[in-house]
Amino acid sequence: MSGRVLVLGGTAEGRRLTEKLAELPGVEVVYSIAGRVAAPALPTAAQIRVGGFGGVDGLTSYLRDAGIAAVIDATHPYAALMTSAAITGSKAAAVPLLVVRRPGWPETDGDDWHRVPSLAAAAAALGGFGERVFLTTGRSGIAAFAGSDRHWFLLRSIEAPSPPMPARMDVLLERGPFTVEGETALMRGHRIDVVVTKNSGGLLTAAKLVAARHLGLPVLMVDRPPLPPGTPAVATVEDAVAWLTRLVGATDRSCTG
């Protein structure tokens, strides 16, 4: 295969994958982000496209018009709309698709996790866990907590949130990585009673879970949206590079054979 690979990004994996794919001979990478962050981290070795495709139909047209030969969805594990569109759109355009999903964090001894299926369920469950909440679910999820008048929130996000949002809230604008020492001091300093987080996985933001364990704090863990059964998926950037390398080899052999 020689051609263009679309990497759906917005993640550290997406950027790392893009840099590695760009080293493969005959491969040109288009790295796509939603465009919600003012100063996004970007890979250097790719064409960058910014903004939504316009749903499944828009993505299908884009894949055809841009001559995309393979799609790798390296979006965040909770970017379920984009992943669903990638699955349907790549099928419609007859383009091979792979999803890269980093593993979630495992619950370990000493953790006090309470799993909830959604942000709304996390907000509904807060009543049993004290008043002061450390919210690390990103600014886009803050609306789910807007009606929680009895709680005070420390929201940590990369960009400032916009309404609707809780009446009693402090905002910390920060991007990982974070350390266990830093997270412990932050939670102690703000007298946090409970942590609310998505199970994003990865090393950049795992320290909050270790800190919560050390401090004996409960964690409301919002479950990941499941991948539709049968979706081709790998856990690492290296496996995704191997997938594309095999695809390149297979297509080149079929062209010359």
Site residues (vs ligand NAP, CB under 6 A): 8-11, 32-34, 36, 52-55, 58-59, 75-76, 78-82, 85, 138, 140, 198
Minimum Å gap between C-beta 33 and ligand NAP is 5
Pull the structure tokens for residue 211.
Answer: 């800190």
Task: State which residue, 100 or 150, has the beta carbon closest to ligand NAP.
Answer: 100
* Residue nearest ligand NAP, CB atom distance: 52
The C-alpha angle 120, 77, 88, rounded to 5 degrees, equals 100
Task: State which residue, 158 or 193, has the beta carbon closest to ligand NAP.
Answer: 158
Task: State which residue, 53 or 153, has the beta carbon closest to ligand NAP.
Answer: 53
Task: State which residue, 73 or 183, has the beta carbon closest to ligand NAP.
Answer: 73
Task: State which residue, 130 or 202, has the beta carbon closest to ligand NAP.
Answer: 202
Minimum Å gap between C-beta 11 and ligand NAP is 5
Q: Strand, helix or coil at 24? A: coil
The residues, ordered by sequence, that sit 6+ positions from 61 with a Cβ below 8 Å of its Cβ are none
Minimum Å gap between C-beta 95 and ligand NAP is 15
Minimum Å gap between C-beta 226 and ligand NAP is 14
241 in Cβ contact with 143 (< 8 Å): no
Let me know if 257 is exposed, middle or buried by CB neighbors in 10 A (0-12, 13-18, 19+).
exposed
Please state, in angstroms and rounded to a whole number, the distance separating the CA atoms of residues 77 and 56: 19
Minimum Å gap between C-beta 255 and ligand NAP is 30
Residue 215: other Cβ atoms inside 10 A: 13
